[in-house]
Amino acid sequence: MSHSEPLSRATLFAYAAPALPLAMLALPFYVLVPGFYAETLGLNIALVGSVLFGVRVLDALSDPAVGIFADRINPRMGRRRFLFALGTPLIMLGAWFTFAPPQGAGAVYLALWASVLSLATTVVQVPYAAWGAEISRSYEGRNRVVAWREALTVTGTLIALCMPALLPAFGITDPARVLQAIALLIVITLPLATLICLRVPEPINRSVVQLSFRDSFAALAANKPFLRLVLAFFVNGFANGLPATLFVFFVSERLQARDMVGPLLVLYFVSGIAGVPLWFKLAQTRAKHRVWCLGMMLAMAAFAFAPFLGAGDIYAFAIVTVLTGLALGADVVMPASLQADVIDVDTARSGEERSALYLSLWGLATKLSLAAAVGVAFPLLALAGFDPGQNIITPFGLDALAFLYAGLPVIVKIFAIALMWRFPVDRAAQQALRMQIEQRLSA
């Protein structure tokens, strides 16, 4: 079954619903779980880091495998809906046992259940993203699908961010009970959201052939718009990963405002939610690759002032936070919508619709860009004389922190804009691709 355009709000909400609990899962897993296992359960912090690094490597490697599998299966309920439904109970199981471990749980326990959670999340998210790329076939319609999904993603992140601060009002202060409460909320909301989402029909598979593995990857390598887009996404993801990684350090040490970390993060994500409809509106009259470039330019303009801020400059930094939060809307909506368009390039040329493979590589690029940001930032800060864990904070180290937090991202984003400003797949090109695909399918 295929949807007519435009999609109704009910359909858009039904598809986007799982994005909220999936986002509530991500932040605690990456932020709260490592500290809980190290501080509350008493595991060696280096061991916890090694285990979770191994889980992330496994997670990254699983993306392409899940993508290939998701494109080649043909179950009765649909290749997207089947894997999505299959992975949901596995996520619930992994989330509960990872977030609510028994006393005495060690590294083996963490490695087992974190791996289950990570792999199950990949099994759900890859076909879920492909589903979103396929339920709308139009240039503007894809903006609407992604805007709804990413607005709920940011909302879920905001809920997860606020829960540790709000739960003490209900008498829940123990770190173990905080994580259990978050896990319980996920276990309740995710299956409900999944049932709502499964009401969205499976898109028609536009494939007219099935390529061999060799031909499949040869066609992917020949898709120049995809390679250009994923490179720009990786570069911009690295630029965004630096401030994301260093935000807490910048606020705590550079601005000397440790108590403001939580409120400023909330301000950032609220601004991100507010920005989504603004960028969506702009994309109705402009090419989405240009809208993404404008979003990156806004972030650059805001970050350009951040390295000059120092202790006590909270109000000035709040303005930076609002502007970069608004820019977040362009960063989460436009690249994902463009990704669906470059999949059309491949489908028109090869005759096989392989959305899951493309989006699994997109997920891999996301994970690699964040890993690169951490791998670059922390060693450079240590060399510059900034290592709070060892009580080493020098003036030069603080300047290096400011440059890596805001100065380097401005420079890096220039390269992403250069890649995208003259991107070849605009509205007219995408419409021509869709016509070619539909004509081949009907023939």
Q: Report the CATH fold assignment for 213-443.
A: Growth Hormone; Chain: A; (1.20.1250)
Q: Fold identical between 7-205 and 213-443?
A: yes
DSSP 390: G
Q: Are 345 and 201 in contact (CB under 8 A)?
A: no
Beta strands in 350-411 (DSSP E): 386-387, 392-393
**Class (C level, CATH) for 7-205:** mainly alpha
Closest by Cα among 359, 357, 435, 290 to 132:
359
- Residue 387 main-chain phi, psi, to 5 deg: -150, 85
What pLDDT, on a 0 to 100 scale, did the predictor assign at position 232? 96
Instruction: Please give the single-letter amino acid code of residue 129.
Output: A
Question: Is 156 within 8 Å of 22 (Cβ atoms)?
Answer: yes
**Residue ranges for the chain with pLDDT beneath 70:** 1-5, 389
Q: What is the pLDDT of residue 389?
A: 65
Q: At what angle do helices 19-35 and 139-166 cross, to 10 degrees?
A: 40
Q: Report the alpha-carbon distance of residue 343 to residue 120 in Å, rounded.
A: 24
Ordered by start, the domain boundaries in the chain are 7-205, 213-443
- How many CA atoms within 13 Å lie on the side-chain side of 398? 14
**Cβ count near 195 (within 10 Å):** 14
> Considering Cα of 191, then 273, then 355, then 361, what sign does the dihedral take?
negative
Two tokens, residue 31:
């932020």
Helix spans in 36-78 (H): 45-72
CB 13 within 8 A of CB 112: no
Residue 230 identity (one-letter amino acid): V
**Model pLDDT for residues 269-322, shown as the tens digit of each residue:** 999 999 999 999 999 889 999 999 999 999 999 999 999 999 999 999 999 999
Question: CA–CA separation, 51 vs 112, rounded Å?
Answer: 10
